[in-house]
Amino acid sequence: MRIIEKNSYEEMSELCAGIIGAQVLMKPDCVLGLATGSSPIGTYACLAEQCAKGLLDFSQVQTVNLDEYCGLPGDNPQSYRYFMDTQLFNKINIEKENTHLPDGCAADMQAECLRYEKLVAGLGVDLQLLGIGHNGHIGFNEPAEDFPVIVHSVKLAESTIQANSRLFDRVEDVPTQAVTMGIGTIMKAKKILLIAGPDKAEIVERAMRGAVTPQVPASVLQLHPDVTVILSKA
Ligand code: GLP
């Protein structure tokens, strides 16, 4: 595991975008695993800028996102589909049909989980970007008794609902369920890139240097052969 410390959010974002950009340059038809949250917003802005300058071409790239809230359609500004469209996809030359997220509004959620698991496995993720929750969650894999292996629907931890409520008008508006890649789905990615700000220093330390336990889901990354962690100190 490579751990790189940067002085600011901007520097972290530039390096992260540089690594993703290098992946796209080396393999123009690569599959990128993407994440939501405030951590990757700067990275997506850098990627959009490089694409606008003609330095990156996303026309053959496919993307798969980690997760989606249940019950929010893609045109709801709080949905992760909306986030991805507005923060990245609408600003780069990617084909919309090559951008994939789980459908949090599917009538048959079990069938949707299987569909998404097969889709991600079939595409094969070259580089997976991750943020981390304060409780160590990756995607929406919350602390649990076991590592959930495949795509599944999950009841969000109270702390996650509280943390994510900053983006909603009222805490009651935050969905209580989500659908997420499992830990096994994430671990199949060839390379993993995790970014985190200083507010995550404690949980990152536990995840990277503590015991590997489903109580700290990100700790499983210690078992992956190719993980880069970029931390910002401010
Ligand atoms: C959400 C997402 C995670 C993300 C986490 C941290 O719960 N499901 O994928 O990593 O938030 O978000 P932030 O980067 O805003 O701290």
What is the residue range of 65's domain?
Answer: 2-232
18-62 confidence digits (pLDDT tens)? 999 999 999 999 999 999 999 999 999 999 999 999 999 999 999
How far is ligand 1, taken at its centre, from the CA of residue 115, in Å?
A: 23
- Ligand 1 proximity of 102 Cβ (cutoff 6 Å): no
Tokens, residue 80: 């992760």
Closest CA to 181 of 116, 225, 130: 116
Give me the catalytic one of 76, 93, 98, 135. Answer: 135
What b-and-e string marks burial along 211-232, b requiring 16 or more CB atoms within 10 Å of the CB?
Answer: eebbebbbbbbeebeebbbbbb
Bridging pattern class, strands 99-100 and 2-6: unpaired
- Ligand 1 proximity of 38 Cβ (cutoff 6 Å): yes
Q: Can you give the pLDDT at residue 66?
A: 98
Give me the catalytic one of 68, 103, 117, 142. Answer: 142
- Ligand 1 proximity of 89 Cβ (cutoff 6 Å): no
Instruction: Give 67's strand partners.
Output: 180
Is 103 known to be catalytic? no
Tokens, residue 111: 């069938």
Beta-sheet strands, E only, within the chain: 2-6, 31-34, 62-65, 67-69, 99-100, 127-130, 152-155, 177-180, 191-196, 227-232
Closest C-alpha to ligand 1, atom 5: 133
177-220 confidence digits (pLDDT tens)? 999 999 999 999 999 999 999 999 999 999 999 999 999 999 99
1-27 confidence digits (pLDDT tens)? 999 999 999 999 999 999 999 999 999
Closest C-alpha to ligand 1, atom 6: 133
Closest CA to 32 of 46, 42, 21: 21
Give me the catalytic one of 137, 141, 152, 164. Answer: 137
Where residue 78 falls among pLDDT bands split at 50, 70, 90? very high
Instruction: Report the domain count for the chain.
Output: 1
Cβ neighbors of 193 (< 8 A, separation 6 or more) are 16, 19, 20, 127, 128, 129, 130, 227, 228, 230
Mean pLDDT of all residues in the chain?
97
Closest C-alpha to ligand 1, atom 11: 37
Sheet holding 177-180, edge to edge: 67-69, 177-180, 152-155
Where residue 83 falls among pLDDT bands split at 50, 70, 90? very high
Tokens, residue 125: 């993720």
Q: Can you give the pLDDT at residue 234?
A: 82
pTM for the complete prediction? 0.97
Measured CA to CA, the distance from residue 153 to residue 2 in angstroms comes to 31
How distant is the alpha carbon of residue 113 from its chain centre? 17
Q: 169: burial class by Cβ within 10 Å (0-12, 13-18, 19+)?
A: exposed
Q: Can you give the pLDDT at residue 12?
A: 98
Measured CA to CA, the distance from residue 134 to residue 174 in angstroms comes to 17
How far is ligand 1, taken at its centre, from the CA of residue 197, in Å?
A: 11
Average pLDDT over residues 126-148: 97
Answer yes or no: is pLDDT of 67 > 90. Answer: yes
Q: What is the CATH number of the domain that holds 17?
A: 3.40.50.1360
Q: Which of 38, 39, 183 to mutate to test the pocket of ligand 1 (most atoms within 8 A of CB)?
A: 39
- Ligand 1 proximity of 217 Cβ (cutoff 6 Å): no
- Ligand 1 proximity of 160 Cβ (cutoff 6 Å): yes
Measured CA to CA, the distance from residue 152 to residue 109 in angstroms comes to 8
Sign of the C-alpha dihedral computed for residues 227, 142, 219 and 206 taken in this order: positive
Where residue 134 falls among pLDDT bands split at 50, 70, 90? very high
